[in-house]
Amino acid sequence: MKIALLGYGRMGKAIENIALDRGHEVVLKIDKNIESYSLEELEIDAAIDFSIPDAAFKNITTCFKAGIPVISGTTGWLDQYEEAVKICDEHKAAFIYASNFSLGVNIFFELNKKLAGMMKNLEEYGVEIEEIHHTKKLDAPSGTAISLAEQIIEVNERKKGWHLEKANDNEIPVFAKRIEDVPGTHTVSYTSRIDDIEIMHTAHSREGFAKGAVVAAEWIKGKTGVYTMKDVLSSLLE
């Protein structure tokens, strides 16, 4: 496959290493203005976007207009997500956005949904989410933590939203910690007077995220439409 990297920071470099190891070719690395490149001439099979919030929408939709499938893990731009999906459909492109491309995290998402369904009627248990990341992660809470909260809200009628740290009774508190040189960790905790129940995912390196993004790019090649990592995961676990 010919892959374009939209954003060439630490995650972009990790994705490049995984892509090359899996026999792919990185034909474009963009760290600035995507509109200065002739994308059609490069015969790109898929673009992987790990840029910055201010650049993500332009990066993604420029690829759509060139008919290039996009895998995006950039957070902080989702107020424009629906508009991006519309442009994707108009140009018959393909798109996967995920707050986290790690295959392990996406299994964790499925566990979270299953546990939330089991706990939804047990009013004696309170629920909260904690995420820990390195100090260079600017957004808080993480996109992964937000996804976990939204999954719980979807099945638990007593929870109407989430809030950073201080939350009302009908909200899920989400705690975000930034600590130097720590692995990314997400914990969902259910607590009662009698006992606690926790599920946790800890990422030991960026390799899991990078591999998941490349696997998603391999999966989406030749497709049109909007998909999720659940679609990718389902095909892997069949």
Place of tokens 């491309």: 101
* SS3 label, residue 168: coil
Identify the active-site residue in 65, 91, 120, 137.
137
Q: What is the C-alpha to C-alpha distance for residues 217 and 141, in angstroms, rounded to an integer?
A: 26
Would residue 160 show up in a list of annotated catalytic residues for this protein? no
With 0-12 CB in 10 A as exposed, 13-18 as middle and 19+ as buried, what is 104?
Answer: middle
Identify the DSSP state of 149: H
CB-based contacts of 169, cutoff 8 Å, min separation 6? none
The first and second tokens of residue 230, run together, are 């659940």
Rounded to whole angstroms, what are the CA distances from 22 to 2, 16, 68? 12, 10, 20
DSSP-derived pairing of the beta strands 171-178 and 161-164: parallel
Which DSSP letter does residue 40 get? G
The residues, ordered by sequence, that sit 6+ positions from 203 with a Cβ below 8 Å of its Cβ are 102, 104, 105, 183, 184, 185, 209
Go through the chain and tell me how many residues it has.
238
**Selected catalytic residue, list 133, 159, 186, 211:** 133
Annotation says 133 is catalytic: yes
| Residues assigned a catalytic role | 133, 137
